[in-house]
Every structure is written in structure tokens, then in C-alpha cells.
Amino acid sequence: MRTVSFKTFGCRLNHAESAQFEAEFTAAGFARVPFGTPAEVIVVHSCAVTQKAENECLKMLRTLRKNDPRACLVLTGCAVEACSDAQRSALPVDVMVPRDQKSGLVPLVLRHLGVQSVMQPVTPACSTKRAALKIQDGCDFFCAYCIVPHTRGAPNSRPFDDCLADAQQMLLAGFHEIVVTGCNIACYSHGPHTLVDLVSALLALPGLGRLRLGSIEPGTIERTVIELMAQSPKLCPFLHLPVQSGDNGVLARMRRRYTVEAVTETLRDALSRMPHVGLGADVICGFPGETAEAFERTRAWIETSPFSKLHVFPYSERPGTPAATFEGRVPVTERKRRTQVLIEIAANKRSAFAKQFVGCSTEFLVERFDKDGRAHGWSGEYLACSVSGVPRDRLRTLCTFTPDGVKDDELCGRWRSVTAAETAQPD
């Protein structure tokens, strides 16, 4: 049997696209094998959000070619767009697939191999226990630090009915949680339908366990999303906002479309409607022009804000973006120091958030079992759960348990059936 393996870098959107590629290869008679084992076709789905990420992808290509010179090496993803013509011509790949040809990746590879195959519509496969539903691609916000508008192109939303049909097939395939993903899902627009319209329709699908949203850009439709989230038990109570900074001057230099005060009001609105909602954020430390005073404003704001999950990282110059040419560069060592300060704050906030759920009925998706038989997964609020006593036939299903403790930021407990009368809410 023909074989294919995948190495996917970067965002959830890349993983959703790789799932589609896998399904199409399977329909064409290929078997997926673990990455690192010999395969006839190796697909590298690249990321170029930072120069480091791009370099890692290109280094991987050279290693793969050296280790398996006979494999058909396929490159797609943002690195294809970010590389110069000279770089692309020097890459050791057999098939290179730019963004405007991604939908035809598998036919392109089959043609290269001389394989005759009639492509049929397929349901995306998924190697995880949650299904990723791609609803759109592209972004035209052109933030100063971001290469994505150049590598992914302008916003392009999938047809409303196609999104619903894919979601229905995912549910029929046995998935209990669907994750709505895209490059900038707040930009979803197809005919009269907005993101909220699509999410409302997805929530009404028979058999849905729960729905989770990817990041929502501040300054877009986050307040309407919060209103829907508060009304919909099947919509995971977790809102991720890529806020990037807690200083208005830095936000302006980043070319972001909101202020710290506006985000603060959004957080207050979410908490007033859902007292125990999970709130996530991305934060960049050491952006050009971020003075010590500006960072202190960010630190103080983060410390006093109700975030439960923070992704904090140092600024990295991305050639091809305006910020890469900005004056006022912060030394790399200082960027890393500031990042560590916020990471420590984030760890304390996350642990405190998790402790609110001890003794309270909590739903989680069973994603795997460890060697000791404990089930692991995520709550709707995006808290890790470690639960004993869950039957192994509950894999990929939603289970309810009552946490009896917290280890770091992980909810721990033993599974048992919980009746409605026993259900409690965090204090």
C-alpha cells in the first residue's frame, strides 16, 4: 500500500488543512504512517509567523531529503509564500504547493507520482479527539509585526452551507467537540451570514456535544460572541483574545484596532454574563518602542485582569513586516526577561482560576488515557483535566466529574455519574 506522513508546523488552521489532506490521501488509497518512519510521500505543512519558525521548517526539509532521498517531499504552508524566489528554487522538494493551489495538493502529488485517481469529496480526518472546522482563510488587518496577510492573502470565507455540511459529517464520524478555526474567524462573512450566524447554526446541529471557538480579534465582534456564549450551554465558555500588549502606545505602533480600555470593558462584559468564563490572551514582550514604563503598564494590567490562560512570547523580527524596520529595538535578553515575568504571573493566575472548580461539576472531553489508566482532556473553560475511573470506551466522549484537587493548573479527580441535583457551580 502507498504511504504518506505529515509534519505540520504552526497554527490550528494548518492542522485543520492537514486533516483535509490526510482524508484525501486516504481516499486515494494511501495509508498514513507516523512521521519519522519511511513513507512514499512526506508532506511538510510549514509556518512562517516568525523567522525562527520558517527556519525550522526549511531545516526539516533538508534533513528529510538527506534521510530519505527517494521520498516525494511536498512543501506547503506559509513558508512557500514567505521565501524569496531564490530560496524556493534551492529547496530540496519535489512538489511545492502555494496557497492558491492548496485545494489541489493531493491531485498535484498524484500527478507527480503518475497515479491515476478520481478525487471525490471527503470528510476531513483528524488525528486528535476534536475536529477542526475551517471556516475561512486570510486576513487584511496588516498589523505591523505580522506576515500572515502576505502569506495567507485577503479574507476568504467558505460557503455557509459547506461549513454546516462538513460539521455534520464530523459529528457522524463520532466527534463530540468541533473547534471553529480560521486565519481570522471574526472576519467570517458569506452572503448575509456572519460568524455569529454560523456559530448559531452549528450549535443547532443534532448530535453536537460542544463547540469551541478559535481566537477572536479584539475590536471586531467579540461582544456579540460573548452574548451568544452566555446563552449557549454547548458553546465552550472560553474566549481567546490576542491582545498583544497592555499599553496603548505599543498597540498603536503595532497597528492594532483597539485600546486597553476597550479590552477591559470586554473582559468585564464577559465576566458579568459568565462569572467563571475562561479568558485567554496572547501577549508580545519587547516590541520595538516598548519602554520599561510601557512594559510596566502591561505587567500591571495583566496582573489585575481576569485572564486564565496566557500565551506570552518575546517579539521576534519577521523580515517583510514594517516592525522589522522600526527603531527602538529592545535587547533580546530584555525581551526574554519581560516574557518570563509575565509567564510567572500567568502561571499563578491559571492555578488560582483552576482552584475555583474544586468540588464543582466539570465537563471534559476524554482525549487520551495514560499508562496508569487516567483519562486526560480539557474542560470547556480550557483547563486540563486528569481523571481516574473513566471507562476506556468513553474515549472521544464528554464526561462529567467533580475535581477534588488541583496539581499546578490541572483539575484532578475521579469520575462518577453526576445528577442534575448534585450539580454545583464554582464559587
Q: What is the pLDDT of residues 134-190, one digit of tens each?
A: 999 999 999 999 999 999 999 999 999 999 999 999 999 999 999 999 999 999 999
**Sheet hosting strand 41-46, strand order edge to edge:** 30-32, 2-8, 41-46, 72-77, 95-97
Residue 122 confidence (pLDDT) above 70: no
The pLDDT of residue 48 is above 80: yes
Q: In degrees, to the nearest 5, what angle opens at C-alpha 335 toward C-alphas 238 and 15?
A: 40
124 lies in some domain: no
Cβ atoms of residues 133 and 188 within 8 Å: no
CA–CA separation, 22 vs 128, rounded Å?
A: 13
Phi, psi of 377 (to 5 degrees): 180, -160
Q: What is the mean pLDDT of residues 317-323?
A: 94
- Kindly state whether residues 301 and 325 are assigned to the same domain: yes
How far apart CA 234 and CA 345 sit, in angstroms, is 30
**Mean pLDDT of the chain, nearest integer:** 93
Cα distances (angstroms) measured from residue 233 to each of 170, 209, 289, 381, 424: 20, 10, 43, 12, 15
CB–CB of 379/305 below 8 Å? Answer: no
* CATH number of residue 371's parent domain: 2.40.50
**Dihedral angle of Cα 85, 145, 190, 102, to the nearest 10 degrees:** 30
Tell me what percent of the residues of the chain surpass a pLDDT of 70. Answer: 95
pLDDT value of residue 84? 86
Query: Does any domain span residue 122?
Result: no
Residue 60: enclosing H or E segment and its boundaries? Answer: helix 51-67
Q: Examine the domain organization and report whether 347 and 391 are in the same domain.
A: no
Task: Confirm whether 407 is domain-assigned.
Answer: yes
Domain count for the chain, please give it. 3
Residues 200 and 106 reside in one and the same domain: no
**Do residue 312 and residue 335 come from a single domain?**
yes
- Per-residue pLDDT, 422: 44
Helices and strands in the chain, H and E counts: 13, 20
CA 311 to chain centre: 12
DSSP state of 37: B
Q: Which domain-ending residue is among 355, 377, 407?
A: 355
- 98: containing domain: 2-113
Coil, helix or strand at residue 350: helix
Cell of 86: 531564490
Please tell me whether residues 80 and 99 are part of one structural domain: yes
Maximum separation of any 2 CA atoms in the chain, in Å: 67
Rounded CA separation 401/117 (Å): 48
Cα-based distances in Å from 337 to 248, 294, 302, 331, 378: 21, 15, 16, 10, 30
- In this prediction, residues 232-246 reach a mean pLDDT of 98
- Average pLDDT of span 400-425: 78
Q: Which residue has the cell 482525549?
A: 367
- Whole-prediction pTM: 0.89
Query: Looking at residue 424, what is its pLDDT?
Result: 52
CATH code of residue 39:
3.40.50.12160
Verify that 330 and 390 share a domain, yes or no. Answer: no
In this structure, are 369 and 346 located in the same domain? no
β-strand pairing of 136-137 with 362-369: unpaired
In this structure, is residue 427 part of a structural domain?
no
User: What letter would DSSP give residue 110?
Assistant: H
Looking at the structure, do residues 158 and 265 belong to the same domain, yes or no? Answer: yes
Q: Is residue 201 part of a domain?
A: yes
Could you report the per-residue pLDDT of 204-232, keeping only the tens digit for each?
Answer: 999 999 999 999 999 999 999 999 999 99
β-pairing, 398-407 vs 375-379, is: unpaired
In a shared domain, residues 249 and 381: no
Asked if residue 410 and residue 335 are part of one domain, the reply reads no
CATH number of the domain bearing residue 336? 3.80.30.20
Domain boundary among 355, 380, 414: 355
In a domain, 123, yes or no: no
Q: Same domain for 158 and 46?
A: no
Question: Is 118 part of any domain?
Answer: no
Q: What is the mean pLDDT of residues 411-418?
A: 83
Backbone φ and ψ for 402, nearest 5 degrees, come out as -115, 110
pLDDT at 212: 98
How far apart are the C-alpha atoms of 361 and 370, rounded to whole Å? 23
Q: Is residue 248 assigned to a domain?
A: yes
Mean pLDDT, rounded, for 281-302: 98
E strands, 158-289, in order: 177-181, 189-190, 193-194, 210-213, 238-244, 278-285
Q: Same domain for 372 and 351? A: no
Last residue within a domain, chosen from 305, 325, 355: 355
C-alpha Rg value of the chain to the nearest Å: 22
